Structure 1
Amino acid sequence: MAILSDTELKEIIEEKNAVYTDRGPDIDMDLQLGPSSLDLRLGYEFGFLDTRSVKALDTRKMENYDKIRNTRKTTPEEGMVIHPGEFVLGSTLESLKVPNDLVARIEGRSSYARLGLIPHAAAGFVDPGFEGQITLEIQNLGNVPITIYPEDRICQVVFETMTSESEQPYGEKTDSKYMNQEGATGSRLDKEHR
């Protein structure tokens, strides 16, 4: 596998609509495009759990998950405060449309990591054929609250080539439970085939 360069990133964004926005400011290639990645901006919606009303989350009994899950929308001026140890879901402003011969990886930006903020804790692999916004698992590992703002560049996407085109892209699999997701999408573990 090989990582796409800025030249190839521009091509797949312009010709294959691999990264696009439906709401908010357009992609600023001069600001967001790096030598081998594209910075993605924070979206407007956040998800968090009301942890005081539950003893534990049971991954085999997810029926209570939606009852304790809350969402909040915020503006680029207001921002969202992430307290030490706190975990919230966010999303990218941009949507991805991963071609069937590529995979994408979402990585945090070091400027945020140096503050103790992990903008994307896990699930950074994006399958070929996936389309939608990326849900971010945001955690403050530091000792002080950190305010983050929608429309700021919080993470980056890297595209890599595969040895061949996928025979069964993400959207064609029966377990494609996050296809076309928007906003801070919570866990859909209850929809997983076991």
Structure 2
Amino acid sequence: MLISSDLLMELIQKREIEINPFDPDFQIKGNSVDIRSSDRYFSYPEYLEPEITMLDPKNPYLNLLERDYISAEGIVLEPNRFLIIESLEYIKTPENISIFLESKLRISQLGIGVVNTGWIDGGFEGNIILVLKNFNNIPVRIYPEMFIAHIFFSSIK
């Protein structure tokens, strides 16, 4: 069952759910919480891109993702490319509360999809990893602290 905004605020005040940074007036929309992009993203090293002709789960290149930072001017996400980015918000839930992640409509209207939407297990703790893909045929700029997704909380019975 989805948790209402009133119950969500009660659980946050009791510190049973933690969201940091968090501004309820700014981030609660109905029964969801808007989350933003941080300035941290992950990519394959540029020097390896010409060598990577196929991604294979048994290939050690998959362990070579490097963290980089997005400047205030943003980062351009080219058509048909993807970006692995962390949420700005650090989130912690108890074992009996799971999270459902969904793209914001505004991001979808730009042609950007959050491809790893869905359920996050109860007891989650950390920054949510967001995998963004540009389905548009033109580049789209992504900025730090840009609203990317919203999350819903659900009790596990």
- Which residue of the partner structure matches residue 144 of structure 2? 150
- Which residue of the partner structure matches residue 34 of structure 2? 39
The TM-score with structure 1 as length reference comes to 0.74
**Larger RCO (CA within 8 A; separation ≥ 6):** 2
Instruction: Provide the alpha-carbon RMSD of the alignment.
Output: 1.6
- Tell me: CA distance 1:144–1:19, structure 2 relative to 1, closer, same or farther (3 Å): farther
Aligned residues: 154
1:87–1:139 CA contact under 8 A, matched in 2? yes
**Structure 1 unaligned residues grouped into runs of 5+:** 164-194
CA distance in 1, matches of 2:18, 2:77: 27
- The one-letter code sitting in structure 2 at the alignment partner of 1:112 is I
The TM-score with structure 2 as length reference comes to 0.90
- Which residue of the partner structure matches residue 12 of structure 1? 11
1:98–1:127 CA contact under 8 A, matched in 2? no
Deviates further, 77-86 or 43-52: 43-52
CA distance in 2, matches of 1:117, 1:139: 6
- TM-superposed CA distance for 1:6, in Å, is 1.0
- State the SS of the aligned residue for 1:52: coil
- The one-letter code sitting in structure 2 at the alignment partner of 1:133 is N
Q: Does 1:82 align with 2:77?
A: yes
- Which residue of the partner structure matches residue 183 of structure 1? none
CA distance in 1, matches of 2:91, 2:59: 28
- The one-letter code sitting in structure 1 at the alignment partner of 2:41 is F
Q: Does 1:96 align with 2:95?
A: no
Percent of aligned positions that are identical: 27
